Amino acid sequence: MMSKIQSIRGMKDVLPDETPIWQWLESKVRNITYRYGYQEMRLPILEPVALFERAVGESTDIVAKEMYNFHDKSGEHITLRPEGTSGCVRAVIENNMCYNKTQRLWYQGPMFRYERPQKGRLRQFTQFGVETFGMSGADIDAELIFMVRDIFRSLGVDQYVRLEINSLGTLPERLEHRQQLVSYFNQHKALLDEDSLRRLETNPLRILDSKNPQMQEMIEVAPRLLNFLGEDSRQHFDELCQLLDAAEIPYIVNPRLVRGLDYYTRTVFEWITDELGSQGTVCGGGRYDGLAELFGSKSLPASGFAIGIERLLLLIQAVGGDKHISNYPDIVVTYENDKQNVEALMLANQLRSKLSHLKILSDCSGNKIKRQHANALKSGCRYIITLNANQKIGLWDLEKNTNALSPLEDIIAYFAH
Ligand code: HAM
């Protein structure tokens, strides 16, 4: 027997039962991007491996362990993008989009990371991302946070997420902190687990992110980057805090928030929920002022965030926010005599042309009328219209439980108001 072919681990089909909630979420998110004046970018899914090595950083888990890399037929080393910021920066520079102007952009699409799949963690997942260019102030960082708050509010989950913020300072500030941090961790080397020992060489800041319970006490008193911020970075961070206070957005300053990508400078933030277990970060973002320069461009301040859509959907479902979303047709058109299928199809067309606000499904199954009705009932529709053998039209209102034969004009009038 031939073996079954199944989907790749960590890559999920979105079935028709689930698409209504995706579409609902996408329309809410799009509406907010529109109202904030952001423009959509559509970016390639394949990018050069070198793009992420340089932007995200070779020592990060994403680049070191999680990318889907391969050589194409011409030998080029390419990858399925693990995130959207790097490609967006590439595109902005390549298309000279920031010459004397700022940009506010958004994108949505699949990202790929070879991680161990679990609830809320997939190998193909969808990000809604926003990136801004040419603005260095804390005001635009605050605007991004306002936007995420509005998204969560419009989806009814703002009560279930908390905002954590931190400042990672500038590169020189980080280097000074790094030296102190390395010497501190060296003093406590015996307490470091294997992962942290590796990170001590490659990316010591990420040790602060460790969840290992044995290391928490030691990490808690490690040198804090916030204490190494220079005057300008301090002021930038204070201003962000003041803007969030003014907008009455609650937040927690988490000095251990470092993010898993190397390009951040100054502001970083995450929105976290306790409803999803260990994969509770629904949104992550921050400022990355030095990234464009890594690609040979002149200095270009930038800031952005990305929301993991699957995680956000899990959260909406966990708090029952999906109850009102349905995919039901309003009307199903059926027919008594199996020779009437074409007439029923035309009847559905007539109804659609007059009743543009309704979802009208035509039963083309060829089944007997009893089965057609049973399927219509299963579909969750509110009305069943039946073309009788004697060409009369029956309207069955399932909610009122009324059933009557009526001329077509009366049926149309019935729905028109
Ligand atoms: P990130 O924190 O790596 O940041 O990802 C952003 C969000 O994508 C996460 O908070 C999470 O919701 C979702 N996500 C990440 N990995 C997975 C996964 N394996 N399965 C399901 N969801 C996942 C970035 O990617 C940055 N590019 C964000 C950014 C934009 N920073 C500035 N601009």
Tell me which of 67, 127, 148 to substitute to probe ligand 1's pocket, judged by most ligand atoms within 8 Å of the beta carbon: 127
Domain coordinates in residue numbering, the chain: 19-169+229-318, 331-416
Query: Could you tell me if the CB of 264 is within 6 A of ligand 1?
Result: no
- Which residue's alpha carbon is nearest to atom 10 within ligand 1? 283
Bridge partners (DSSP) of residue 130 are 106, 305
Region for residue 400 given its phi and psi (left: phi exceeds 0; alpha: psi -120 to 50; beta: otherwise): alpha
Q: Does domain 331-416 have CATH number 3.40.50.800?
A: yes
Bridge partners (DSSP) of residue 267 are 167
Reported CATH class of domain 19-169+229-318: alpha beta
Q: Measured in angstroms, how far is the CA atom of residue 303 from the centroid of ligand 1?
A: 14
Query: Could you tell me if the CB of 287 is within 6 A of ligand 1?
Result: no
Tell me which of 140, 281, 291, 316 to substitute to probe ligand 1's pocket, judged by most ligand atoms within 8 Å of the beta carbon: 281
Query: Could you tell me if the CB of 85 is within 6 A of ligand 1?
Result: yes
Query: Could you tell me if the CB of 129 is within 6 A of ligand 1?
Result: yes
Q: Measured in angstroms, how far is the CA atom of residue 125 from the centroid of ligand 1?
A: 9
Calpha distance 304→132 (Å, rounded): 6
Q: Measured in angstroms, how far is the CA atom of residue 193 from the centroid of ligand 1?
A: 25
Position in ligand 1 atom list of the atom nearest CA 282: 12
Calpha distance 39→44 (Å, rounded): 17
Position in ligand 1 atom list of the atom nearest CA 281: 10
pLDDT in 10s for each residue of the chain, 417 residues: 789 999 999 999 999 999 999 999 999 999 999 999 999 999 999 999 999 999 999 989 999 999 999 999 999 999 999 999 999 999 999 999 998 899 999 999 999 999 999 999 999 999 999 999 999 999 999 999 999 999 999 999 999 999 999 999 999 999 999 999 999 999 999 999 998 999 898 889 889 988 899 999 999 999 999 999 999 999 999 999 999 999 999 999 999 999 999 999 999 999 999 999 999 999 999 999 999 999 989 999 999 999 999 999 999 999 999 988 988 999 999 999 989 999 999 999 999 999 999 999 999 999 999 999 999 999 999 999 999 999 899 999 999 999 999 999 999 999 986
Calpha distance 416→12 (Å, rounded): 41
**Alpha-carbon torsion (41, 315, 64, 289), positive or negative:** positive
- The whole-model pTM stands at 0.94
Q: How many CB atoms lie within 10 A of CB 385?
A: 24
Calpha distance 62→94 (Å, rounded): 24
